[in-house]
Structure 1
Amino acid sequence: MSLRIGIDIGSTTVKVVVLDESNKLLFRSYERHYSKTRERACETLHSIEDRFRGQQVKLVITGSAGLGVAKASNIDFVQEVYATAAAVREYYPATDAVIELGGEDAKIIFFGGALEERMNGSCAGGTGAFIDQMATLMNVTADELDRLSLQHEKIYPIASRCGVFAKTDIQPILNQGGRKEDVAASIFQAVVDQTVAGLTQGRELKGTIVFLGGPLHFLMGLRERFVETLHLDGEHAIFPEDGDCFAAIGAALCADEYRERPFEEVLKLLEESVDAKTTVDTMPPLFTSEADYAAFLERHNANHPPKADLETYAGPAWLGIDAGSTTTKMTLITADGGLLYTYYHSNQGNPVAIVLEQLRKLYELCGDRIQIKGAAVTGYGEALIQNAFRCDLGLVETVAHYKAAAHFNPDVDFIIDIGGQDMKCFKIRNGAVDSIMLNEACSSGCGSFIETFAKALGYDIASFSKLGLFSPRPVNLGSRCTVFMNSSVKQAQKDGASVEDISAGLSISIVKNAVYKVIRAASADDLGRHIVVQGGTFLNDAVLRAFEQELGRDVTRPTIAGLMGAFGAALAARDLHLERSTLLTREDLASFTHTAKPVTCGLCTNHCSLTVNQFDGGRKFISGNRCSRPLGKEKTQLPDLMNFKYKKLRSLQGMGEGDGSRGRIGIPFGLNMYENLPFWFTFFTKLNFEVVLSPESSRKLYLKGQRTIPSDTVCYPAKLLHGHVEALVEEGVDAIWYPCMSYNNDEGIGDNHYNCPVVAYYPELLAANVPSLKKTRFLDPYVGLWRHKDFIKRISALMEREFQIPKRETRMAAQAAYTAYENYLDVVRETGKEYIEYARAHDMPILVMCGRPYHIDPEINHGINDLITSFGFVLVTEDALSYLEGYAPRKVLNQWTFQSRMYNAARYVCTQEDMQAIQLVSFGCGTDAITTDELRDILEEGGKLYTQLKIDDISNLGAVTIRIRSLMAAIEARKARQ
């Protein structure tokens, strides 16, 4: 029997194994290929040529990047799931499921009966690439991340759908003093959650599970999180010794079915495939000549601050600090904006230590010649740094960036700032920050995107970017997620594109992502006439050139593009006109100390993960809190209609007129029950049922039902329902009532009155995907509350059939339920009026939250209402105002009740001087893809600011805070001009 060779070419690595006739492993290799897949495979075979020359071999290729190599070399190919299954059946025949994590692929294979595979599609969240990205964020290697995780004390909830989401959670924890050990373990837990929630898709993971792939082979901390989460023992959690090469072993096992050839022949076939080339989709070059590039540089290099010399200057100076998500930037300026000192470096997860070191250095350099008259701080770590070093001012980063941009171009009307993983775009209207756009679902338009490819191809980002400047044929890679882009890059390489062509194509791709995915511009005029670009990514000349070419106009890039936040903060400190700064002195810094410890607050249902920072002299700063209770204060008592509605609905539990003699009926407290609960509660208690509401939403409740969620892209409010119904089953209710409702009540303000399709039919999805519902009576009939007579007739028949209740009794209960629902709406509207009167009596701004009824759930909104009232706003909701405006046609088909309410509320806000509106959007909401643009048009045409808050299962409110504070700054700026 001949030798069998299996080659597994994955997204980031090439694995090669050689088996003898008794399946003994003679050779194994695991190497990164840096996108040079064919070359790496050839090099590995060359390394064993002396050993196997002259022998007959059967060679089979597998893997996500293997098909193209197999075709080009005319070598046999086997699909990777089939190969993996072959190896598992050979060595672990009792396996129930396989979890395999690769560089950019994640998959679960279920055994038993037909082979069933679940694999990640549009995102690399929860894979090796994600872990590498998070290790880079924490400034450690993947191995160091692993070692840190094994010493954790607590787990933070961290999203893993994308690097952006995870970073949104991780960075504030690091910036506010959280332990790296805890964050490392939390990253691995996020990978576990992503795998279980994203790939099981409703099928339960149980029995004997085999764990495969590089990350699970090398990272002990990741193994630990999987074993603990899935409650596995040593017998049921199997980590094979060669788990990193298992697909290659499977390919070798499958080689029995294919023909044998001399070792030299298969090596020659692979070598010949290296040079195979096909056509590539290309675009025009960025620069056609050196002269063209020189003129470009001359134009942009003219935008620089005045020169200043720290060694010779004497007089006052002002300090600006930008404690960013991954980097700390500092500038010291003179009165005219001249730069005396700059600092730009990774914050290494500890911005306090960085700022301390730099302040000591600054005081030494300044001596007695220079007096720091003011210090301001901005960025993610603003509050921590301001408290640590007693800076005079903390300002929201949008305002800091605007101040800096206006310094270089007073007419600026649009600013775009692209950093490593953040993208911020904001319009300037009448001298104030207006609408704000931040990337929230994807980091593919940011600097880390191109840096990832640079590293994968073996370059540093600076030299890689320069390679593309004069490429004659940049590759058209489109505007896509990193996962898809990797495929495009690999295909382009196979087709003969040079590294120069790919570099230029990636720079153009970043711009397309920014313009069409974040800004969503229809044309250059949507942005503005006077555009200032900033952020480290725009120091890349290829990206800057691509941006100007895409828009068809010149933009302003200051030479200090990466320092603009710190520069703007310094300008703000200068404009305070202080006689003396409160910044810690050189003497203060000599005794400066800082410690941080994580704690969980138990003062309310939020259970915030806090970080308690302690400084010398007994100073303390607490971060991570959604309300003021951990600071020793009671929650803000300003009128808050979201909080009022939630408490009103929740208080129904235990009330009602019924005696409970007909049994206990469970109602899941989620989605449209936030609208219809007063109706159903009254209906069932009138019929002498005891109504049992599911528990308050929480992360723990979500995890209870996570394994039964069939779609990772559905909105978080829908995902929560799985936990709610599981809890009701555990409660032992006699039946669960959760009807399908295609329509809401007709309020006469839209073209129709549909429910969102997810809300309308989610009961059927639950019935099909939650196995425990078979243990109880789950009633999910179609009902139409808006057709009163028809509803009463149908529900009477249903109640008689299901519970033997006389029709007359049901009719009376239904009529009482309609009255209760109308009374609830009246209470909401009257309370809204009271809150508005209170605001006006106390000269307070009013903020109208436009969302859906379920957005009042604290687990869904993450305490956004508490944050808003803490800034001094009185908060009312759209349903308290929508009835004040009648029907009006819209540009889009206005067919959903809750969106109709938002449109009407926005129209009313435009008539009130002291009101502004914010739209709450659940990530993954299909209907809001339409409604956001419509609501923006209504508000902007009415002279109001449009602010959107996108929420998911992420509990960090960093991006939310930026938007609200920017809104406040814009309101103040407008007031100042009046």
Structure 2
Amino acid sequence: MALRIGIDIGSTTVKVVVLDAQNKLLFRSYERHYSKTRERTCETLRGLRGLLGGQQVQLLITGSAGLGVAKAAGLDFVQEVYATAAAVREFIPGTDAVIELGGEDAKIIFFGNTLEERMNGSCAGGTGAFIDQMATLLNVSVDELDELSLRHEKIYPIASRCGVFAKSDIQPILNQGGRKEDVAASIFQAVVDQTVAGLTQGRELKGTIVFLGGPLHFLAGLRQRFVETLHLDQDHAIFPEDGDCFAAIGAALCTEDSQPRPFEELLDLLEHAATVSTPVDTMDPLFTSQADYEAFSARHQAMAVPTVDLATYTGPAYLGIDAGSTTTKMVLIDPDCNLLYSFYHSNQGNPVSIVLPQLREIYAQCGGRVTIQGAAVTGYGEDLIKNAFSCDLGLVETVAHLNAARHFTPDVDFIIDIGGQDMKCFKIRNGAVDSILLNEACSSGCGSFIETFAKALGYTIADFSKMGLFARHPVNLGSRCTVFMNSSVKQAQKDGASVEDISAGLSISVVKNAIYKVIRAASADDLGQHIVVQGGTFLNDAVLRSFELEIGREVTRPTISGMMGAYGAALAAKDAGLTQSTLLSAEALASFTHEARPATCKLCTNHCSLTINRFDGGRKFISGNRCSRPLGQEKVDIPDLLKFKYQYLRSLQGKGEGDGSRGKIGIPFGLNMYENLPFWFTLFTTLNFEVVLSPESTRSLYLKGQQTIPSDTVCYPAKLLHGHIMALLEEGIDTIFYPCMSYNFDEHLSDNHYNCPVVAYYPDLLGVNIPALEDIKYLHPNLGLHRPKDFEKKGAQLLETEFGIPKRASVKAIRKAYAAYEDFRRLVQKKGEEYISFARETGRKILVVAGRPYHMDPEINHGINDLITSFGFVLITEDAVFQHMDKQPRRVLNQWTYHARMYNAARYVCTQPDMAFIQLVSFGCGVDAITTDELRSILEEAGELYTQLKIDDISNLGAVKIRIRSLMAALDARDARNQKGGQ
């Protein structure tokens, strides 16, 4: 029998194995290919001449990138799932499931009568590429990340669906002093959660599970998280010795039908494989001549800040610090705003350790000649740095960037800042930030996007960016997710595109993503007439040129583009008019110490994950809290209608006039039950049922039902329902009621009154995805409460059929239920009036928080309401004010009850000078793609501010805080203008 070669060409690596007739492994290799798949494969095979030269061999190729190589060389190919299954059946019989993680692929294979595979489709979250990205964020190697994770003390909830989500969860933890060990373990836990929730798609993982692929083979911390999460013992968690090469081993095993051929012949076919070239979609070059580029450079170089030699300067100075999401920037200026000192560096996961040596260096250079009279800090790490070094003031980064932009362009009306994984766009109106746009679902339009491809192609980011400036035929790559773009780049390479053309194409892609995905501009006029661009990504001339060409006008890019936040903070410190700064002195810095430890607050049910930072002299700073109680302060009791509604509905448990003689009936407290609970609770208790609500939503409740969730893209409020059902089942409830409802109540304010499809039919989905519901009475009929007379008949019939209740008793209970629902609606509106009166009597601003009924759930809103009231706002909800406005036609088909309430509430806010509006949107909500644009137009056409808070299954109050503080700054600026105009 000939020796057998199996080659697995994956998205990032090439694996080659050689088996003998007894399936003994004679050779194995695992190498990164950096997109040079065929070349890397040939290089490995050439090294096997000593072992295989002159012999007949059988060869088979597999892997996500292997098909193209196999076709080009005329060699046999086997699908990777089939290859993996062959190896598992041969070496680990009795396997129930395989979890395999690769560079950009993740899959679960279920074994049984037939093979069933689940694989990631649109995103590389939860794969080796994701882990690489997170290691870079922490400024450690992947091996160091693994070692750190093994020393963790706690796990933070971190999203893994996309690098943007994960980074926005991780960065606040790091910037507030969280331990890298805990963050490293949390990253691995995020991978586990993504795999289990995203790939099982409702099928339970049980029995003997085999773990394969490079990340699981090399990373002990990742293996540990899988074993603990899935509650596996060593007999049921199998980590094969050659788990990183199992698909290649399987390919070798599948060669029985391949014709043996001389090794040299097969190698020659691979080395001389024809590359099939197809037409490439190209665009116009960025620059057509060197003179063109020089004129462009000269124009932008003119936007420079004069520098003064700090070594010879004498006098006052002002310090600005920007503790950003991935970098720390520091600027020292003189009273004329000239630059005395600047610093730009990765924060390496600990901004304190970066700022400390720089402050010491600044003091050393200042000597006794320079006095720092003011120090201001901005960015994600603002609170930590301000407390650590006793800075004079902190300011929200939108205001800091506006300060800096105004210095260069006094009449600036639009600012776009593109960083490593963040994109921020600010519309400026009447001298204040009017609206904020952020990339919230993807990092494809940011600097790290280009950097990822630069590294994959073997270049530094600086060299790679320059290569695109004079590319003759930039490739049109569109503006898609990194995973899809990776495929486009590989295809472009196969089609003969040069690295220069790809570099230029990626720069254009960044710009298209910013303009059409984040800003969603229809034309350049949607941006503004006086545009300032900033952020490290705009230091890339190819990106800057692409932006100007795309919008058809010139923009301002200061030479300190990457440090505008720090410069704006320094300007704020100067304008504060201080004569002496509270900044720690050089002597105090000499004895400065900092240590951080994690803790969990137990003062309320939120159980906030805290980080306790301790500094020298007994100073302390606590972060991660949603309220002031962990700081030793009692919460100020400011009216909060979200909280009132939630507490009122939870308080219904145990009430009701019935005696419970008909037994218990469970109701999952989620989705439309927040709206309709008074109705159903009254109906069933009147009929002598004991109503049992599922417990309050928590992260652990979500994890109870995680394995039964069939879709990773559905909104978090829907995902939580699985946990609510599981909790009721664990309580022994044998009757659960959760009806499907196509229609909501008709409030006569919209063209129709549907529930969204998820809310309407999720009960059916739960019924087919939670097997345990088959063993109890699970009632999920299609009902409609919008037609009371009709429901009296259908509801009474249902109750008689299922429980034998006489129709007369049911009709009576149904009428009481309708009255209870109306009483609840009136109560909400009455409370809203009380809270508005309180605000006006005490001089507080009112924030109308508009969303859906389930946004009152603290686990869904992550305590956003506590954060809002901590800033002194009185919080009311859209359902307390929408009734003040009549029905009005909208530009879109207005067919949802909740939408109509929000539109009317926004119109009402436009009539109230002391009110502002915020919309809560759950990530994954398709219908809110309509409401966001409509609400924005209602508010902005009336000169009001629109603020949107997008919330996911992970708490990220850092970004929320920025938006709320920006809204506050804009409201203050508006009040100041109005006051000035009134005088």
1:806 equivalent in alignment to 2:798: no
- Contact 1:636 1:866 survives alignment (8 Å): no
Query: Quick one: distance in 1 between partners of 2:619 and 2:181?
Result: 25
TM-aligned CA deviation for residue 355 of structure 1: 1.0
Q: Give the structure 2 partner of residue 261 of structure 1.
A: 261
Q: Given that residues 162 and 442 in structure 1 are in contact (C-alpha distance below 8 angstroms), is that contact kept between their aligned partners in structure 2?
A: yes
Structure 1 residue 120: Cα displacement: 0.4
Specify the alignment match of 2:496 in structure 1. 496
Deviation, structure 1 residue 50: 3.2
Deviations 1:239-275 (A, max 9, x none): 1111101111111111112222221111111111265
> Which residue identity lines up with residue 232 of structure 1 in the other structure?
L
Distance (whole Å) between structure 1 residues aligned to residue 535 and residue 187 of structure 2: 27
CA distance in structure 1 between the partners assigned to 2:31 and 2:358 by the alignment:
41
Following TM superposition, by how much is the alpha carbon of 1:510 offset from its aligned partner in structure 2, in angstroms? Answer: 1.0
What is the one-letter code of the residue matched to 2:317?
Answer: A
What amino acid is aligned across from residue 321 of structure 2 in structure 1? I
CA drift of 1:733 comes to 1.8
Aligned 1:793-942 pairs, distance under 5 A: 793-942=793-942
- Within 2, Cα distance between the matches of 1:125 and 1:908? 41
User: Once the two structures are superposed, what CA deviation does each residue of 1:860-913 show, in whole Å capped at 9, x if it has no partner?
Assistant: 000000000000100000000111111100000000000110000000000111
C-alpha distance in 2 between matches for 1:625 and 1:956: 12
The 5-angstrom pairing of residues 398-547 of structure 1 reads: 398-547=398-547
Q: What letter is aligned with 1:905? A: A
Matches within 5 A, 1:552-591: 552-591=552-591
Q: Does 1:25 align with 2:50?
A: no
| Residue in 1 that maps onto 2:781 | 781
Supply the AA of the counterpart residue of 2:497.
A
Residue 279 (structure 1) shift: 2.6
Distance 2:697 2:166 in 1: 22
CA contact (8 A) 1:38 1:274 kept: no
8 Å Cα contact 2:319-2:332 kept in structure 1: yes
1:76 is paired with a residue whose SS is coil
Q: Deviations over 1:912-940 (max 9, x none)?
A: 11111000000000000111000000010
Residues 752 and 895 in structure 1, CA contact (< 8 A), matched pair in contact too: yes
Partners of 1:847 and 1:875 within 8 A in 2: yes
Task: Name the TM-score, length of structure 2 as normaliser.
Answer: 0.99
Corresponding residue for 1:645? 645
**Bigger Cα displacement from structure 2, 724-733 vs 847-856:** 724-733
Asked if structure 2 preserves the Cα contact closer than 8 Å seen for 1:708 and 1:722, the reply is: yes
- Return the offset for 1:956: 2.1
Q: Which residue of 2 aligns with 1:247?
A: 247
Q: Take 2:635 and 2:780, find their aligned partners in 1: how far apart are those partners?
A: 39
| 1:137 match | 137
Please list the CA deviations of residues 426-472 of structure 1 after superposition, one character each: whole Å capped at 9, or x if unmatched.
Answer: 10001000110111111111111111111111111001111111111
Q: Is the 8 A contact 1:306 1:336 kept in 2?
A: no
> Match of 2:165?
165
Moved more, 833-842 or 631-640: 631-640
Structure 1, residues 630-684: CA drift from partner, whole Å, max 9, x if none? 0112223111000000011010001100100000000000000000000000000
Preserved contact between residue 663 and residue 734 of structure 1 (Cα < 8 Å) = no
Deviation for aligned residue 1:52: 1.3
Question: For the Cα contact (< 8 Å) 2:72–2:275, is it kept in 1?
Answer: no
- For residue 819 of structure 1, what is the amino acid of its counterpart? A
Give the superposition deviation at 1:591.
2.1
Partner of residue 84, structure 1: 84
Where 2:445 maps in the other structure, the secondary structure is coil
Structure 2 residue matching 1:77: 3-state secondary structure: coil
Q: What is the alpha-carbon distance in structure 2 between the residues aligned to residue 713 and residue 108 of structure 1? A: 18
Q: Match for residue 736 of structure 2?
A: 736
Supply the AA of the counterpart residue of 1:468: G
Per-residue deviation, 1:810 = 0.4
Query: What is the CA distance between 1:56 and its match in structure 2?
Result: 1.5
Structure 2 residue aligned with 1:314: 314
Letter in 1 for 2:774: K
| TM-score when normalising by structure 1 | 0.99
Residue 354 of structure 1 and its aligned partner are, at CA, apart by 1.3
Which residue number corresponds to residue 53 of structure 2? Answer: 53
Instruction: State which drifts further: 575-584 or 251-260.
Output: 251-260
Counterparts of 1:886 and 1:268, CA distance in 2: 78
User: 1:101 aligns to what?
Assistant: 101
Partners of 1:195 and 1:707 lie apart in 2 by 10
Counterpart of 2:905, as a letter, is A
> In structure 1, what is the equivalent of residue 356 of structure 2?
356
CA distance in 2, matches of 1:960, 1:353: 26
**Change over 3 Å in CA distance of 1:276–1:270 after alignment to 2:** farther
Aligned to 2:981: none
Q: Deviations over 1:777-831 (max 9, x none)?
A: 1100111111111101011111111001010100110000000000000000000
Q: Percent identity?
A: 78
Matched residue, 2:615: 615
* Structure 2 contact 444–481 (Cα < 8 Å) conserved: yes
**Is 1:626 matched with 2:626?**
yes
What is the CA–CA distance in structure 1 between the aligned matches of 2:779 and 2:369, rounded to whole Å?
A: 79
Q: Secondary structure at the match of 1:4?
A: strand
- Which consecutive aligned stretches of 4+ in structure 1 deviate over 4 angstroms post-superposition? none
CA change 1:191–1:658 in 2 (3 A) is same
2:706, 2:862 → 1: CA distance?
19
Q: State the match for 1:673 in structure 2.
A: 673
Q: Where in structure 2 are there 5+ consecutive unaligned residues? A: 979-983
Q: Which amino acid aligns with 2:959?
A: A
Q: Distance in 1 between matches of 2:249 and 2:11?
A: 17
Instruction: State the AA in 2 paired with 1:809.
Output: A
Cα deviation 1:589-632 (Å, max 9, x = unaligned) = 12222111110001111100000111122111100001111011
- Helix, strand or coil for the counterpart of 1:283? coil
Give the whole-Å Cα distance in 1 for the aligned partners of 2:276 and 2:737: 63
Match of 1:698 in 2: 698
**Length, aligned pairs only:** 978
Does the 8 Å CA contact 1:885/1:904 hold for their aligned counterparts? yes
What's the counterpart of residue 4 of structure 2?
Answer: 4
Corresponding residue of 1:179: 179
CA distance in 1, matches of 2:362, 2:157: 38
Cα deviation code 1:300-342 (max 9, x no counterpart): 1000112311112111110000001111100001122111000
1:491-524 per-residue CA deviation (whole Å, 9 max, x = no partner) reads: 1111111111111111111111111111111111
Instruction: Give me the whole-angstrom Cα distance separating, in 2, the residues matched to 1:514 and 1:258.
Output: 50
Corresponding letter in the other structure for 1:672: N
SS for the counterpart of 2:705 is helix
The one-character-per-residue Cα deviations of 1:11-30 (angstroms, maximum 9, x if unpaired) are 00011111122211121111
One-letter identity of the residue aligned with 1:618 = G
The superposition leaves residues 37-96 of structure 1 with CA deviations (integer Å, 9 ceiling, x where unpaired) of 111111111111232122112211111111111111111111111111111111112110
1:288 Cα deviation after fit:
1.1
Secondary structure class of the residue paired with 1:866: helix
Q: Which moved more, 1:707-716 or 1:172-181?
A: 172-181
CA deviation after TM superposition for structure 1 residue 476, in Å:
1.2
2:214 is matched with: 214
Mapped to 2, the partners of 1:242 and 1:920 lie a distance apart of 48
In the alignment, the residues of structure 2 paired with residue 365 and residue 273 of structure 1 have an alpha-carbon distance, to the nearest angstrom, of: 62
1:752 aligns with 2:752: yes
User: Structure 1 CA distance, aligned partners of 2:366 and 2:936?
Assistant: 49
Question: 1:219 offset after TM fit, Å?
Answer: 0.2
